[in-house]
Structure 1
Amino acid sequence: MNLFELNDSFRALQDRDDLDPTVLADSLDAIQDTREVKWDNIATWIDRNNATEEWIAKRIKELQDKKKYLENQSKNLMTYLTDSIDDAGFKEARTDNHILKPRNYKASVVISTPDKLPMTFVHTETKTISRPDKKALYAALKAGQEVPAAKLVPNRKTVIN
């Protein structure tokens, strides 16, 4: 198999969404070429995945910022619209596309300085959170102690430069 065909094989694998770890390993094993060429293509694939992950994370942040901006803008527009209809003295307004009816909803509580509230209006709550102490577990397991429901699993990776 020449290099062009091998790259096509890897591209075909990259495009699949149904690759569980076993199928992926079997598919990679089935590609006939030297280890070095396989390793180089796998490292390139990992580089592309990492770049795509970074792009997606950046895009998610941009979209979240845009969503927050639109939410705030809609809130400000709603305030303006309601105030405008109220100022005009209408209980209902009609346009070509909408029927606008200002309504009273439950009032919102706004707290400007929480530390100045009387204690009768402050709720103190203590929560107990239980979580495994991984540092203590690691030390005990590393020392050879057996701990039910816990074990050390090797964590090996390859640095790609």
Structure 2
Amino acid sequence: MNLFELNQTYRDLEEREDLDSEVLADTLDSINDAREIKLDNIAYWIEKNKMQLDWLSEKLKDLRAKQTSLNNLNLSLQDYMTRALDDAGIKELQTENHILKPRNYKASVIVDSLDDLPEEFKQTKTEITADKKELYKVLKDGQEVPGAYLKPNRGTVIK
């Protein structure tokens, strides 16, 4: 297999979406290539994935901002439409495309100041979490803790 064919093998592998970790490892093991070349191609693939993840994160952020903007606009438009109908004393308006009926929904509870609220209307929530920093110290010193253990965390830096 020549260099172009080997590189194409890695690019074809990138395009597959049916790869779980076991199939991926088996497929990579089956590529007959020098270790340095194989690992270099894998590093390239990881860098490409990281670039895509960065782009997707930014795109998601933009889409969330657009979603919030459209939701807020719809709320403002709904409020305006309801006020316009209420101000005119209209109970139902039929247009060419819609039937508009103002109606009462369940009222919203707004708490301006939690400090001013009587105790009988306050709730205290308690969340139990593990103290991972302390657990790490104890486990690292070799002590055993039921329900916790250290999982090795190894990776390769790509420069």
Normalising by structure 1, we get a TM-score of: 0.88
Q: Which residue of 2 aligns with 1:130?
A: 128
User: In the aligned structure 1, how far is the partner of 2:145 from the partner of 2:117?
Assistant: 49
Aligned partner of residue 58 in structure 2, secondary structure: helix
Aligned partner of residue 23 in structure 2, secondary structure: helix
- The alpha-carbon deviation at position 26 of structure 1 amounts to 0.8
Number of residue pairs aligned between Structure 1 and Structure 2: 159
Identity across matched positions, percent: 50
Aligned partner of residue 62 in structure 2, secondary structure: helix
Matching of residue 66 in structure 1 with residue 73 in structure 2? no
Matching of residue 160 in structure 1 with residue 122 in structure 2? no
User: In the aligned structure 2, how far is the partner of 1:3 from the partner of 1:104?
Assistant: 71
Aligned partner of residue 38 in structure 2, secondary structure: helix
Q: Which residue of 2 aligns with 1:79?
A: 79
Distance 1:108 1:130, change over 3 A: closer
Amino acid at match of 1:21: S
Aligned partner of residue 114 in structure 1, secondary structure: coil
Matching of residue 25 in structure 1 with residue 21 in structure 2? no
Q: Where in structure 2 are there 5+ consecutive unaligned residues?
A: none
User: In the aligned structure 2, how far is the partner of 1:141 from the partner of 1:118?
Assistant: 45
Normalising by structure 2, we get a TM-score of: 0.89
Amino acid at match of 1:24: L
User: In the aligned structure 1, how far is the partner of 2:143 from the partner of 2:106?
Assistant: 59
Matching of residue 50 in structure 1 with residue 63 in structure 2? no
Matching of residue 98 in structure 1 with residue 98 in structure 2? yes
Q: For structure 1, which segment, 145-154 or 77-86, has the greater mean C-alpha deviation from structure 2 after superposition?
A: 145-154
Q: Which residue of 1 aligns with 2:140?
A: 142
- The alpha-carbon deviation at position 160 of structure 1 amounts to 0.9
User: In the aligned structure 2, how far is the partner of 1:115 from the partner of 1:131?
Assistant: 25
- The alpha-carbon deviation at position 57 of structure 1 amounts to 1.1
Aligned partner of residue 108 in structure 2, secondary structure: coil
User: In the aligned structure 1, how far is the partner of 2:6 from the partner of 2:54?
Assistant: 27
- The alpha-carbon deviation at position 116 of structure 1 amounts to 6.1
